[in-house]
Amino acid sequence: MRYFISTNRFLIIFGLLMLLSLSVSMDDAFAEITANANHDHITIDSFYHGSTVSISGFSNPSDADLIIKLTSPDGHQSLRKKGKVASFLWMNTGELKIENVPNAYFLYSTRRIEDILSREEMDKYVIGYPALVKHATINVPAGEEKTKWFNEFIKFKESSKLFNTSVGKISTIKKDRKQDYSISAEWPYQAPPGNYTAQVYAVKDKKVIETAAVNVLVEQVGVVKSLADMAKNNAALYGLISIAVALGAGFGVGMVFRKSGGAH
Amino acid sequence: MFLYLPVALTSINILLPVGLGLLVGVLSGLFGVGGGFLMTPLLIMLGIPSTVAAATDSNQIVAASTSGTYAHWKVGNVDFKMGIYLLVGGFVGGLLGVEAIKVLRAMGNADFVIKITYVVMLGIVGTYMFLESLSSMRNKKSEKVTEQKESKISIFLKSLPFQTHFEKSGVTHSVLVPIFLGTVVGILAAIMGVGGGFLMVPIMFYVLRMPMHVIVGTSLFQILFTCIEVTFLQSYTNHTVDFTLAVLLLLGSSIGAQVGAVFGRKLKGEQLKILLALIVLAVTVKIIFELTLTPSLLLSQAGGH
């Protein structure tokens, strides 16, 4: 009998403990996040001068930090390196080839990435420039040389407006256990046409607890598309038209000046 | 107002390329140069990729040089015969130059050789032109000295076979002379990745002894054909000509070339030479600064010059 009671007690205590631990991890287990792009199809016409990308959704729990990573697919980048020749002349000294790196990389977060995410998680989800370095393959020896050239790469990309990180641009509104978030990010005109992915991460206790993704398509349309296609697919005709127009313009202006007496 | 450039993949305020075209077009009509040494770096500064900047510049030079050649031809300042011989040489030189680049690259340090050649050539041409023009403007006696010096070269040139008279320029030379000089400029232009107008103009003056105003028209005629070839090759092989940007540039440059031609007729040959010498020297100084000052970015897009 004694033995029976103690077993029962043990089971009750065990059950209570399980319930308690379940309620503690409830937030994590039911973590959820959604992402919608209000403007997921950017069209490039003749008068295009950049756009905005608006991403919104909600996250649960409401106290999670948020990170939004907007990137083009990983690919190959080839750039010219400048270095000192004869110890005082700056010249092209070779090519920097980087694999597994996006052409465009925009990162937005509610707080500083280093304060809200562990190094391991940053590497796992390729969040932040240090994670990007580890993820990429560069044709320079590892160590200082690699860090130096990757920093130069970031500098080059940031000056081309194709890489950017910013803190505090995501606005959040808490509602019960959830929080609504939204961001209206400037989309630079320098970003080439293509498919981009906006990945939204809910972060808590330095870990990613949930992710959601939405695609953004940037596409040339109309005359811009026709000209770009022709330059690629019908290059000979494109070249001949370019020359003919230049010749026509040169002669045309010459005739106008002749009639107006400008040349005499 | 902004326009999107389909090949350069960037957006630009239309006033910038039109204004730039106008400025470079004036220089082109005035001095008989393509102006690539000025236009290409300025386009890169405006955010145009270097490969697109160089190729599109060739396209707009077609318009500027057509306009300029037309303006000079109307007043009889184009020596077509001389221009064609120079072109033949330029074509051969271009082919040799491309091979020379391959050899230089195989030897390593090609960029070093190219840049140094460029700076030295520009420096020598600019300084010589400047000093010579200055002394002949100041002192007429110096002209006699120059003539005496040149006479030795003239004797050698006259001893060559295939002598022919170039009516427009009023000079007699062996056809081998313009072909050879065209080849030399063609080789250097191909190695340095420039049109070569700034080299051709002094050579036509000092070696071929052509009158300055005929030089400008003839140089533009030659540049026109070189740039037609380059535009086609760049479109066909590299797909780097931006038609929209070229149209914006040529709107300015074809008008600028006319203005330059009109303005040039009001200047004396010596004045034209000294102004061109100053521009060549300014470009030399700019390149020296570029080579010695630490650049803000150590990376640039692959391709281009």
- ipTM > 0.90, yes or no: no
CA distance A118 to chain B (A): 31
Instruction: Give the angle B266-B271-B274 at the CA atoms, nearest 5°.
Output: 150
Cβ within 8 Å, pair B302-A81:
no
* Mean predicted lDDT score pLDDT of chain A: 86
The residue among B130, B169, B171, B134 whose CA lies nearest residue B150 is B171
Residue B300 in domain: no
Whether B140 is covered by a domain: the verdict is yes
Chain A 24-53, residues with CB within 8 Å of chain B CB atoms: 44-50
Could you report the per-residue pLDDT of A25-73, keeping only the tens digit for each? 444 446 788 888 877 899 999 999 999 999 999 998 888 999 999 999 9
> B residues 214-273 near A, CB within 8 Å?
228, 231-237, 239, 241-244, 246-247, 250-251, 254-255, 257-259, 261-262
Tens of pLDDT, residue by residue over A173-209, are 988 788 999 999 999 999 999 999 999 999 999 999 9
Per-residue pLDDT at A263 exceeds 60: no
- The full set of domain ranges for chain A reads 1-29, 31-220, 234-260
Interface of B with A in 80-139 (CB under 8 A): 109, 111-112, 115
**Residue contact A44–B3, C-beta within 8 A:** no
Which secondary structure element, helix H or strand E, spans residue B186, and what is its range? helix B176-192
Answer whether residue B240 is part of any domain: yes
Which residues 6+ apart lie within 8 Å of B231 measured at CB?
Answer: A239, A242, A243, A246, B55, B58, B59, B62, B241
Sheet holding A89-102, edge to edge: A137-138, A89-102, A74-85, B299-301
CB-based contact, B155 to chain A, within 8 Å: no
Taking alpha carbons only, the member of A85, A210, A106 closest to residue A162 is: A106
Looking at the complex, report in whole angstroms how far the Cα of residue A115 sits from the nearest Cα belonging to chain B: 30
Tell me if A227 and B6 make a contact (CB, 8 A cut-off). yes
Strands, DSSP E only, in A178-257? 178-187, 194-204, 207-220
* Mean pLDDT of chain B, nearest integer: 85
Q: What is the pLDDT of residue A234?
A: 94
- Which position has the higher pLDDT, A13 or A211? A211
Residue of B129, B235, B130, B133 whose CA lies nearest to A245: B235
Q: What is the pLDDT of residues B170-217, one digit of tens each?
A: 888 888 989 998 898 888 777 776 777 878 888 888 888 889 889 989
Range B117-137 average pLDDT = 86
Interchain pair A82, B295: CB under 8 A: yes
Is the confidence at residue A247, as pLDDT, over 70? yes
Confidence of residue B140 (pLDDT cuts 50, 70, 90): low
Amino acid letter, residue A171: S
Query: How far off is chain B from A26, nearest CA to CA, in Å?
Result: 49
Q: How many domains does chain B have?
A: 1
Query: Is residue B289 within 8 Å of B59, Cβ to Cβ?
Result: no
Which residues numbered 169-188 in B keep a CB inside 8 Å of some CB on A?
Answer: none
Measured distance CA(A82)–CA(B191) in Å, rounded: 19
Q: Does B63 contact A246 at a Cβ distance shorter than 8 Å? A: yes
- Domain residue limits at B283: 2-292
- Any domain includes B297: no
- Judge if the upstream peptide bond of residue A61 is cis by omega within 30 degrees of 0: yes
Nearest CA in chain B to A159: B297
Residue of A nearest to B245 (CA): A242
Examine the pLDDT at A10 and tell me if it is beyond 80. no
Q: Name which residue leads in pLDDT, A226 or B301.
A: A226
Q: Say how far apart CA B235 and CA A200 lie, in whole Å.
A: 41
Cβ within 8 Å of residue B14, ≥6 positions away: B1, B2, B3, B248
* CA nearest neighbour of B28 among B288, B282, B262: B262
| B217 within domain boundaries | yes
User: B166 in contact with A at a CB cutoff of 8 Å?
Assistant: no
Nearest to B300 among A48, A79, A88 (CB): A79
Do B64 and A250 count as a contact with CB atoms less than 8 A apart?
A: yes
- Would the CB atoms of A227 and B4 count as touching at under 8 Å? no
CATH topology of domain A31-220: Immunoglobulin-like (2.60.40)
Q: Best mutation site among A242, A247, A259, A260 for testing chain B: the one with the most B CBs within 10 Å?
A: A242
Nearest residue of chain A to residue B48 (CA atoms): A190
Q: Is residue B299 part of a domain?
A: no
Phi, psi for residue B92 in degrees, rounded to 5: -60, -45
